[in-house]
Amino acid sequence: MTTAQDTARRVTKRRARTRANLLDAAFAVFAAKGFGRVSIEEVCEAAGYSRGAFYSNFATLDELFFALYQERADLIAAQVADALAQDGPDLDVPASVDRVTEVLLLDVDWLLVKTDFLVHAARDPAVAQALLDHRTRLREAIADRLFRARGHTELPAVLGDADGAARAVVAAYDGVTTQLLLDKDVDAARTWLGQLLTALLTDGSGTPA
């Protein structure tokens, strides 16, 4: 016998699946056309849903775009944190860099969407704050790992403290991903990012400063 609780659970699962499908479809459409050139109808058509299904999950296209960015941004922050959590107190910089660059989401379509979001954020303070919050979480995950390695692994003095080093790491990632947008060479981006981060956090030879 089906209970009201069972029915509610199925409705919740179906709604979550619809939301996920809308986000996946929107990602493909945004990456292909750009956020400012996409309509709700195009997202619905790509997902195979009606406008009603869209509005049962999102009030506006901006809200969907924000949710899409948040989902991917949280994934990246989690990837970095998990990769950095595997060492003991003594930070093996080359090994940690290898793990981060191996799992880090370096995807041209994501970078196109992320760049659209950055441009959008530059014109909307509320959206800008969401972007800043994500970057803070990413930077704090890196800084926390570097801070825990203090006394075991010395960073180059020019970077200052762990937070300064974390800012430099994020800046390096930004630079490499900008190049990736232009040449579309993911393998080269991973290699270059690994080399750049190792040089940044060590004396250039892979040995802590």
Q: What is the pLDDT of residues 4-60, one digit of tens each?
A: 565 567 767 888 999 999 999 999 999 999 988 999 999 999 999 999 999 999 999
Output the pLDDT for position 76.
78
Taking the model in full, what pTM does it have? 0.72
Does residue 189 surpass a pLDDT of 70?
A: yes
| First-residue to last-residue Cα distance in the chain | 68
Rounded distance between C-alpha atoms, residue 4 and residue 175, angstroms: 53
Length of the chain: 209
Tell me the C-alpha distance between 182 and 186, whole Å: 11
- List, for residues 195-209, the tens digit of each pLDDT value: 888 888 876 545 554
Average pLDDT, the chain: 82
pLDDT value at residue 57: 94
- Contact between residue 82 and residue 143 where contact means Cβ atoms under 8 Å apart: no
